[in-house]
Amino acid sequence: MLRKELVAASAEPLILSLLSQGESYGYAIIQQIRTLSQDQMQWTDGMLYPVLHRLEKRGWISSRWMESEAGRKRKYYAIKKDGKQALENQKTQWTTVHSVLSQLWKEQHV
């Protein structure tokens, strides 16, 4: 399992990246993260929804209620233009962090 601080720091770019592939709802986002991380990141509703609400408040994502195939209503989230720009900015930042760590770790193995 990953440290809570790392999971929290990566939540926004992960959610924006998932939503850049198409709209989704909370439970599906949680399951996608769990699958992609091979169960190393196990998000809960209590962790996900505050981040979704924060992204929506910033104008980076939008939401709408839709009925699911099972007849239940679900809140679907979609990335907006400003969210795509925010994602590009976060990609740049995470790429920089990854690059620095990779260089440091490579130097340690020499």
Tell me which residue of 64, 57, 60 sits closest to 81, measured CA to CA.
60
Domain containing 52 — which CATH number?
1.10.10.10
Q: Which residues make Cβ contacts (< 8 Å) with residue 59, sequence separation at least 6? A: 80, 82, 83
Q: Is 12 helix (H, G, I), strand (E, B) or coil?
A: helix
What angle, 0 to 180 degrees and rounded to 10, lies between the N-to-C axes of helices 26-36 and 4-19?
110
pLDDT digits (tens, 9 = 90+) for 22-77: 999 999 999 999 999 999 999 999 999 999 999 999 999 999 999 988 888 999 99
The total number of structural domains in the chain stands at 1
Supply the pLDDT for residue 74: 95
107: pLDDT confidence band, cut at 50, 70 and 90? confident
In the numeric block, the tokens 């939540």 are attached to: 11
Does residue 109 register a pLDDT over 90? no
pLDDT tens across 83-105, in order?
999 999 999 999 999 999 999 99
What is the Cα–Cα distance from 52 to 35, expressed in whole angstroms? 19
Q: Domain range holding 46?
A: 4-108
